[in-house]
Structure 1
Amino acid sequence: MRDDPAVVDLVRRARAGDAAAWDGIVERYAALVWSVCRRYGLTGSDADDVGGSVWLRLVEHLDTLREPAALPGWLASTTQRECLHLLRARKRQVPVDDAQLGAEPYGAEEPAGPDSALLVRERRHALRVAFGELPVRCRRLLGMLFADPPASYAEIGDALGIPVGAIGPNRGRCLDRLRRSPALAALELTRPGGP
């Protein structure tokens, strides 16, 4: 399995920016990521969060993956680390009643009911699609900026080969491009009160 030429080809093409290869990697290994999440007892939004983090890590590290055929093992171990990170963070959280804070609960403007979970999943899916449409450089930049913990500007500059002063403007352009994605625009049209 470690010498699977199909995996090596997908990694090589994804490194070159082939969006179809990225889709192929996600399609081929999404079940692996979700199965590791289930082993750690994560489902729903927690598994989605871990999955998103794993795919962002892959965007960040695909170019430095020494053995392309080892991708499944890399994905499994990265998923395990992300699951453990989420579980440790959850232990450190102290639940607080929103009424104690004197604020509306997060997402209070969203309709409650059986459709709310579906809306959340649709939004997450649209964001993943839009993120996947970005150029590799934007995906790497945003991935590093929104990592937990985020990389410093110096680390980002070194990793991407751009001056620290150019990171903010590049981030702005990448986020603008993300906002203009047809996947996100289609989602906005389906929202109540949308354009």
Structure 2
Amino acid sequence: MAQASRHDRQAALVRAARSGSRAALDALVVELTPLVWHVARGNGLDRATAEDVVQTVWLSLLRHLDRLAEPRAVAGWLIVATRREARRAWRELNGRPALSTDSAVDLPGDRWLPEPEVLRDDRDRGLWRAFNALPRRCQELLRLTVLAGRAEYRAVAEALAMPRGSIGPTRGRCLNQLKERLERDDIR
């Protein structure tokens, strides 16, 4: 029920934004920018390029807001638009994208930390190593399903060009692969 109310709320915000409500548009941006950001970064873009992609996608939504056929599908529209724009931006870079600077692997190891924080940082590094060792398809699927939630399987299926019915089972296999890697590396 919470998922349905989220979609209803987003649809109401789209309709209000179409009618000129700046507050509704701001609320959409606040609610959905983390999703757009993670889709952009999940497609291998460095921070600066991802910022450009996020801005371009939101500008595109503004231009097409009146043409959005189903206001409840705004999150799905943003996922698809972000993936397309991220691919375009990546091609323009003419090379391999820079590694993410947000990864726990990039944390400096020479700073002093209390023991609990050191243990947590070590666990997080291991988790990110295991996650980054997964096939890219699993990484994308896990990012989208964790951020978008199960109610967004239709949008995730469209964004990843896979049957909707295979999202759950594939997600389960990807999570099992992650769990096996974590167990193999003894990460708790």
Q: TM-score, normalised by structure 1?
A: 0.45
Task: Return the structure number with greater helix share.
Answer: 2
